[in-house]
Copies of this chain bind each other. A is one copy, B any other.
């Protein structure tokens, strides 16, 4: 009841296993005619080559690791989907690893991926900077996606988070906002830092000073965004706008406003980040900063798979893409009367 092996095929076709192997891979010495025959036998026997065995022989496993904070977070779910699609179309499969940005988890997963001899790792997770840095030593191709890792000199693709924040700030500034705050997810993650920096910078250029108390560190959840916003709204000089470093937080902000009886965007503008399906589920629809996920993933994949080949040891490449402002309904001039 064992699955068919290359031996079965060879026997049935009356050739050596070497020929079968050659026929499968289309290389080595093999006549066109014989090849057809073998292929036919394979078909008949419903033969499936074992990736395991072929990997052991020093070839690739055609498996990739994807490290992200959490697949249940819509942004990363979208990334996971994009990665899966492009990987699959190239014959790879991907092992998704949700790290929750926790060092131990990152470490455990990296070990695992090593043991499984994946052909490469896509890093979209935060946390474990020092741990991740070790990856540089390993012979494991690595590419970062949507973030950078301090001290990890590998290729990667990201969007310009500083610029994204700048876009958000400009939009809010143009609407006339002066008192603003930012909800910042996990500040250990570079992308989050950049977002804060960019926002602060833009405000600074406009002559507005963003105080430390206006930057609220949050966990990455709706609940936490709500909590932080509620706190913000309780202030005497409450801000007229909040910039959230991701959409979960933005949804939380919306909820908080609603609970506090403060209307968005009339009394409070909120802009999110990532443009996931969440931004399209809220009411009002979220104004947000979009990242070109598909393209990022595509490029990252190419860097990763390509990096095994000629470019091994080449200078790491960092591609940075441009974010875009998607204007929807959650932003307006401060103090605007509600339209409907």
Contacts and interface: CB of A to CB of B under 8 A. Distances in A.
A244 to B, nearest CB: 13
B84 A71 contact: yes
A77 B248 CA distance: 15
Interface in A234-257: 248, 251, 254-255
Contacts of A61: 52
Contacts of A34: none
Interface string A87-129: 0100001111110000000001101111111000000000000
A186 interface: no
Given A56-B56, A116-B63, A282 B280 contact: no
Nearest to A81: B72
Nearest to A116: B51
A78 interface: yes
A224 B169 CA distance: 34
Interface of A: 1, 3, 48-53, 55-56, 61-63, 70-74, 77-78, 80-81, 84-85, 88, 93-98, 108-109, 111-117, 139, 222, 248, 251, 254-255, 258, 277-278, 280-283
8 contacts: A48-B114, A50-B56, A51-B117, A52-B117, A71-B77, A81-B98, A84-B98, A281-B282
